[in-house]
């Protein structure tokens, strides 16, 4: 098996690096990691090192010592930042001077005291009862701390106050300073916080908060109840930040497998004491008929050259504990499927490995020949079109250009729908295609194929305008709702089943990129229009604009909202709610 996410630094290295967020690691000729960094665009960032366009004095020295560079794909730049600091702390690379002590990033810690406290610390090397992090968003971190303190009250301050402090008077501190605090109940709160930070109680958290809201309402403490109600909406954002960490002690290995085009792709993720330590991607010929045999051979090969773990998790989880122990010769304390909170790391890297294989494969030409045979026209460039709307408001279109295996970003196009109101995909598509045809006529450049994210109705509406100027096809999800099994539809209604093939991956990636591009444009349009509309109302600033947008989503919904509904938004008083209602009505 060959490692495919580690590249020798040569003239062709930049063509192999994806333009995605993640972490990169430079290693010397002996394989020792000497520098770790993160990037929003890995290829662009690494090119600054390779081409010596980074002006920092350490870069030329670093590149003299670097022999290879490896990358780990993450869902976004924020998680790349968390992973970067975690790896630096673990591996201590010689060129990472500034981040070795992690002073830049805050942690949540429980102090090692007679009455432990929940604190925010930038000193992770100190001795704590428990510590979790680092966190990249200070506001989110403070929200999480306030939430945990509300559900599981602990002492706030480090001094003794036998008469009780203001926090005790407010009912948010058990006041162990007064010497009559139930220690058993107090330590149960400490345990509760640790379990939440270990990811063990996220499913129950909303229910616990709702019970607290009911109790505060019964006590007529409506301000506290409203504050807790606001915290429920933050739970998904808070939970997402734990995506690059794994609760537990010891060494845990996660493996994700996929067979594509007679190749077996494997992502191996290792966690050490709850923190992600490494991600490695492998590919090899799929030599066995069954997936079980492929996975067994892959695990046996991996552990012949790597130290064992205490627990192992697989996707797909089709081998029993006995089978895993037998083929590896290791007795794992626990096996099973990959926890859903961690799948985004393995899924992102696995998908990237397959896409890289497609880009570097000679099968691209074969796939385009297959597409050309189906449409009846030679195809080497594809424009894909998607409409995005929110209940008929903010209707926009995104158009993405793909050519010879690459997305051509400077040929992407955005359109605001001007002549259609309400939910009308067919009318919106006809408007956009009419505008596209004018651009093609003036520029003299048009795609070989116009791909529509939709079925026969959408294809027919587009073809009624385009009239053969450019071949048209639609892509829809399989009617049997089998994941990854899409249908391709031509202008004359012929259907073609897209199986798990190179052509299928190309077309699905084009469709998904177009969908992402259109939705991003829709969201930015909503925020822009909402901001412009609300700025006319005195008392509405950026924070209240955002709160209204998060609550109602559209201007139409805000216009229809009652005063009582508007009052439920954080920061909107009754008088301001009346002002907003009067403005729109």
Both 516 and 580 in one domain: the answer is: no
Residue 97 resides in a domain: no
Question: Could you give the number of structural domains in the chain?
Answer: 5
Residue 58's domain comprises: 2-91
Write out pLDDT tens, residues 166-186. Answer: 666 666 677 777 777 788 888
Q: Is the pLDDT of residue 246 over 60?
A: no
Residues 154 and 61 in one domain: no
Cβ–Cβ < 8 Å for 300, 330: no
- What's the CATH number where 557 sits? 1.10.150
Neighbours of 489 (CB within 10 A): 22
Are 19 and 111 in a shared domain?
no
Q: 299 and 176: one domain?
A: no
Indicate if 57 and 147 belong to the same structural domain: no
Start-to-end C-alpha separation, the chain: 67
Q: Verify that 291 and 378 share a domain, yes or no.
A: no
Q: Is residue 96 part of a domain?
A: no
Residue 2, pLDDT > 50, answer: no
Domain boundary among 91, 115, 130: 91
What is the model's pLDDT at position 384?
92
Same domain, 159 and 234: yes
Handedness of CA 65, 71, 77, 78 (dihedral sign): negative
102 assigned to some structural domain = no
Q: Which range has the worst mean pLDDT, 137-141, 210-214, 430-434?
A: 137-141
pLDDT score, position 207: 74
Which pLDDT belongs to residue 358?
Answer: 73
199-214 pLDDT, tens digit per residue, is 666 667 767 777 777 7
Query: Average of pLDDT values for 363-371?
Result: 77
Sign of CA dihedral 541, 544, 546, 548: negative
> Please, which pLDDT band fits residue 365 given cuts at 50, 70 and 90?
confident
**Beta strand pairing call for 449-453 and 381-390:** parallel
Q: Do both 119 and 218 map to the same domain? A: yes
Q: What is the DSSP string of 438-464?
A: HHHHHH----SEEEEES-HHHHHHHHH
Pairwise CA distance, residues 186 & 332, whole Å: 36
As a whole number, the mean pLDDT across the chain is 79
pLDDT top residue among 163 and 333: 333
Residue 245 counted as domain residue: no
Looking at residue 26, which CATH number applies to its domain?
3.40.1440.10
Q: Which of 41-45, 375-379, 558-562 has the highest mean pLDDT?
A: 41-45
Q: What is the pLDDT of residue 346?
A: 87
**Domain identity same for 378 and 502:** yes
Of residues 3 and 382, more confidently modeled: 382
For residue 100, tell me if it sits in a domain: no
* 530 lies in some domain: no
Q: Are residues 448 and 508 in the same domain?
A: yes
Class of residue 247 by CB neighbours under 10 A (exposed 0-12, middle 13-18, buried 19+): middle
Output 402 or 205, whichever has higher pLDDT.
Answer: 402
Instruction: Put the strands of the sheet holding 275-285 in their side by side order.
Output: 2-3, 275-285, 263-272, 251-260, 311-315, 334-337
Contact status, residue 33 vs residue 69, Cβ threshold 8 Å: no
| Residue at which a domain ends, from 490, 524, 558 | 524
Do 112 and 174 sit in the same domain of this protein?
A: yes
- Verify that 553 and 568 share a domain, yes or no: yes
Q: What is the pLDDT of residues 24-65, one digit of tens each?
A: 999 998 888 999 888 889 999 999 999 888 877 778 888 988
**Domain annotation covers residue 51:** yes
In a domain, 418, yes or no: yes
What confidence tier does 133 reach under pLDDT thresholds 50, 70, 90? low
Pick left, alpha or beta for residue 435 (phi over 0 → left; psi -120 to 50 → alpha; otherwise beta): alpha
Local confidence band at 1 (pLDDT 50, 70, 90 cut-offs): very low
């Amino acid at each position: 098996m060959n490692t495919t996410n580690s590249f020798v630094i040569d003239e062709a290295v930049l063509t192999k690096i994806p333009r995605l967020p993640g972490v990169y690691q430079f290693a010397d000729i002996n394989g020792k990691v000497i520098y770790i960094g993160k990037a929003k665009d890995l290829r662009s960032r690494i090119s600054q090192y390779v081409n010596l366009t980074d002006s920092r004095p350490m870069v030329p020295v670093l590149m003299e010592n670097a022999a290879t560079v490896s990358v780990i794909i993450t869902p976004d730049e924020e998680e790349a930042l968390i992973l970067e600091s975690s790896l630096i702390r673990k591996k201590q690379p010689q060129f990472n001077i500034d981040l070795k002590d992690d002073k830049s990033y805050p942690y949540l810690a429980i102090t090692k005291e007679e009455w432990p406290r929940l604190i925010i610390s930038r000193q992770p090397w100190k001795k704590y009862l428990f510590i979790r992090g680092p966190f990249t968003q200070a506001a989110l971190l403070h929200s999480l701390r306030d939430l945990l303190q509300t559900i599981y009250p602990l002492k706030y301050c480090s001094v003794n106050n036998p008469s009780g402090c203001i926090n005790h008077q407010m009912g948010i501190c058990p006041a162990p300073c007064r010497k009559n605090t139930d220690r058993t109940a107090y330590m149960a709160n400490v345990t509760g916080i640790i379990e939440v930070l270990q990811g063990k109680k996220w499913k129950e958290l909303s229910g616990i908060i709702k019970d607290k809201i009911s109790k505060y309402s019964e006590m007529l403490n409506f301000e506290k109840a409203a504050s807790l109600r606001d915290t429920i909406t933050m739970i998904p954002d808070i939970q997402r930040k734990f995506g690059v960490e794994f609760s537990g002690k010891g060494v845990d290995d996660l493996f994700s497998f996929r067979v594509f085009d007679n190749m077996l792709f494997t992502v191996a993720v290792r966690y050490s004491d709850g923190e992600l330590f490494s991600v490695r991607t492998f590919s090899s010929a799929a030599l066995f008929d069954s997936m079980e045999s492929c996975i067994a051979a892959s695990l046996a090969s991996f552990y012949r050259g790597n130290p064992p773990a205490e627990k192992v998790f697989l996707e797909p989880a089709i081998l029993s504990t006995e089978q895993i122990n037998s083929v590896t010769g290791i007795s794992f304390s626990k096996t099973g499927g990959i926890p859903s909170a961690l799948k985004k790391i393995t899924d992102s890297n696995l998908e990237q490995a397959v896409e890289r294989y497609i880009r570097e494969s000679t099968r691209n030409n074969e796939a385009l020949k297959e597409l050309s045979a189906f449409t009846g026209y030679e195809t080497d460039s594809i424009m894909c079109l998607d409409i995005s709307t929110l209940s008929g408001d903010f209707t926009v279109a995104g158009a993405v250009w793909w050519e010879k295996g690459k997305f051509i970003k400077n040929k992407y196009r955005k359109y605001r729908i001007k002549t259609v109101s309400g939910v009308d995909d067919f009318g919106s598509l006809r408007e956009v295609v009419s505008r596209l045809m004018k651009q093609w006529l003036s520029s003299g450049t048009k795609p070989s194929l116009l791909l529509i994210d939709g079925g026969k109705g959408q294809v027919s509406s587009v073809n009624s305008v385009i009239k053969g100027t450019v071949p048209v096809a639609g892509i829809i999800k399989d009617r049997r709702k089998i994941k990854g099994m899409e249908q391709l539809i031509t202008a004359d209604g012929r259907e073609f089943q897209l199986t798990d093939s190179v052509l299928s991956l190309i077309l699905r990636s084009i469709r998904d990129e177009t969908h992402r591009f259109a939705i991003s444009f829709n969201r930015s349009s909503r925020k822009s229009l909402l901001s412009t509309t609300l700025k006319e109302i005195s008392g509405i600033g950026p924070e209240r604009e955002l709160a209204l947008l998060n609550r109602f989503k559209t201007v139409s919904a805000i216009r229809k909202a009652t005063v009582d509904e508007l009052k439920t938004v954080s920061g909107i008083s009754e008088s301001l709610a009346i002002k907003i209602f009067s403005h729109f009505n």
